[in-house]
Amino acid sequence: MKKILSFMDWGIFALRLYHYILLLSQALAVSELSIRTLLNVIWLGAALGVPLLFWFPGRRMNKVWFCILELLLGGSYYVHSVIDPDLTSKADYLLPSLTMGYLLTKQTLWIIPVVVFIPFSFQSHLRLSWEQPLSIGADNLLFCFIGMWASLVANAYDQKNKLVAEVEHQNKLLTHYSAEIEKMTLLEERNRMSKELHDTLGHSFISLILSLDASIALMDSKPAEAKDRLIRLRALAEKNLDDMRNIVHEMGGEEESSLIRQVESLAARFREHTGTALTLSLPGTERSIRFEVRQTILRVIQESFTNAIKHGKASQLDLELKFSESHLQLSVRNNGKPIDKLNYGFGLTTMKHRVERLGGSLHLSSGKGTPAVTEVRCEIPLKGVMPLGEN
């Protein structure tokens, strides 16, 4: 769509051009071309062309000097044409007033009184009554205001078109940004789901494998006990399926749950299916914590249990959970084989990243001694917590 501001600029330019071409044609419409006529033609040509050196649609925009030169050259010719009775190209100053009103700025506000008082410059010479120059000045002022109104309308349309273009550009950016955010959200949720599956299934399958190994060993010597173990393993498999369903449900909402009860349930299943001694030290009063914090603590416990049995061959584990004024602290110790070279595997690395994302820290330490102790220590800040109740 053609820009309205450019259209108005060329329209005003055309009106002014028509004004001076008409005067030039009148000046040249004489029977004999005299020096006086030639001077008038040069004067009109200068009034037409010189101001255009400072304002031309779409190119030069020095409006102040345009108005000054228009008044000096065009205004002086207008006064001269009124005073000289023999001049054939009689002029008015309506269209030049319209042009200067259209180009009005804060620096050229003085133009308004000038176009009003130009007719009074020849009042005494022509011995006119006050009503005549006042009427001519009012006409000049009216055309000046029409030019100002045209400029306001053109600039308003131009600003509207720019605003529409900017809004369309911003909408495109927002659409692109939304697509990127959706892509990042899906990727983050996929990563979160894979971590949850690894943490939950890894721990559960370790327990299943250990219990199946024990059941296989008892098949010949103690078939009744082996059968009992297999029954319990079936119950564990059903429990694992329920855990998977719970993970999917918990992804969609943060339901209120007791961390201590979950830890106790996790420890009971671990004792039952691995036969490993486990002592718990839990707080009597629990705080209300966010879903992400609760899930992270449970996954750290599961990963610590799994590593202690799978890699450390531990026979004794100690879990301590406590709330301070501003932090939730977890410690899981085991008496398994000490770690010669501390190395965070995939599971602990995932846990470390999850804890750090919540503003906490996770540390692994292992020392040789009697007995050797390997410890996983985790600390997560609590924000906006409230007492949940007595355990």
Is 120 found in the same domain as 264? no
245 located within any domain: no
What are the pLDDT digits (tens) for 188-229?
Answer: 767 767 766 666 666 666 777 777 777 787 777 887 877 787
188 CB-near residues (< 8 Å, 6+ apart): none
Q: Determine the pLDDT at residue 266.
A: 85
Q: Determine the pLDDT at residue 321.
A: 93
What are the pLDDT digits (tens) for 65-100?
Answer: 999 999 999 888 888 888 877 776 667 888 899 999
147 located within any domain: yes
Q: Determine the pLDDT at residue 255.
A: 45
Q: Which of 105, 135, 167 is the last residue of a domain?
A: 167
Residue-range definition of the domain harbouring residue 261: 257-390
Please name every residue paired with 380 in a beta bridge, in sequence order, or none if there are none. 328
313/296 Cα distance (integer angstroms) = 24
Burial of 64 (0-12, 13-18, 19+ CB in 10 A): middle
Q: Which of 132, 167, 202 is the last residue of a domain?
A: 167
Report the Cα 33 to chain-centroid distance in Å.
72
168/173 Cα distance (integer angstroms) = 9
Is 16 found in the same domain as 117? yes
Tell me which of 343 and 64 has the higher pLDDT: 64
Contacts 24+ apart (CB under 8 A), 105-113: 105/63, 105/64, 107/63, 107/64, 108/63, 108/64, 108/67, 111/67, 111/71, 111/144, 112/141, 112/144
Section 5-19 average pLDDT:
88
| Confidence band for 272, pLDDT divided at 50, 70 and 90 | confident
| Confidence band for 256, pLDDT divided at 50, 70 and 90 | very low
81/210 Cα distance (integer angstroms) = 115
348 located within any domain: yes
Q: Which of 152, 167, 182 is the last residue of a domain?
A: 167
246 located within any domain: no
Burial of 241 (0-12, 13-18, 19+ CB in 10 A): exposed
Query: How many domains would you assign to the chain?
Result: 2
Report the Cα 20 to chain-centroid distance in Å.
54
233 CB-near residues (< 8 Å, 6+ apart): 208, 211, 212, 215, 273
Is 109 found in the same domain as 9? yes
120 located within any domain: yes
0.85 exceeded by pTM: no
Is 137 found in the same domain as 10? yes
Of 152, 26, 143, the residue nearest 96 (C-alpha) = 143
Q: Determine the pLDDT at residue 198.
A: 66
**Strand 55-56 with 60-61, pairing:** antiparallel
Is 261 found in the same domain as 119? no
| Confidence band for 132, pLDDT divided at 50, 70 and 90 | confident
Q: Determine the pLDDT at residue 331.
A: 94
205/240 Cα distance (integer angstroms) = 9
| Confidence band for 281, pLDDT divided at 50, 70 and 90 | very high
Extract the tokens encoding 248: 């999917």
Q: Determine the pLDDT at residue 131.
A: 84
Number of H helices, E strands in the chain: 12, 9
What are the pLDDT digits (tens) for 330-340?
Answer: 999 998 888 77
Is 298 found in the same domain as 156? no
Extract the tokens encoding 225: 């006990």
132 CB-near residues (< 8 Å, 6+ apart): 119, 123
What are the pLDDT digits (tens) for 356-376?
Answer: 888 899 988 887 766 778 899
Is 381 found in the same domain as 275? yes
- φ/ψ of residue 335, rounded to 5: -100, 25
305 located within any domain: yes
The answer on pLDDT for 322 being more than 60 is yes
Q: Which residue has the tokens 């002592």?
A: 279
Is 5 found in the same domain as 111? yes
Longest dimension (CA), the chain: 141
221 located within any domain: no
Q: 41, 24 in Cβ contact below 8 A?
A: yes
Is 5 found in the same domain as 147? yes
Residue 344, domain CATH: 3.30.565.10
Mean model confidence pLDDT for the chain: 80
Report the sign of the C-alpha dihedral through residues 143, 146, 151, 152, in that order. positive
Is 261 found in the same domain as 157? no
Is 272 found in the same domain as 159? no
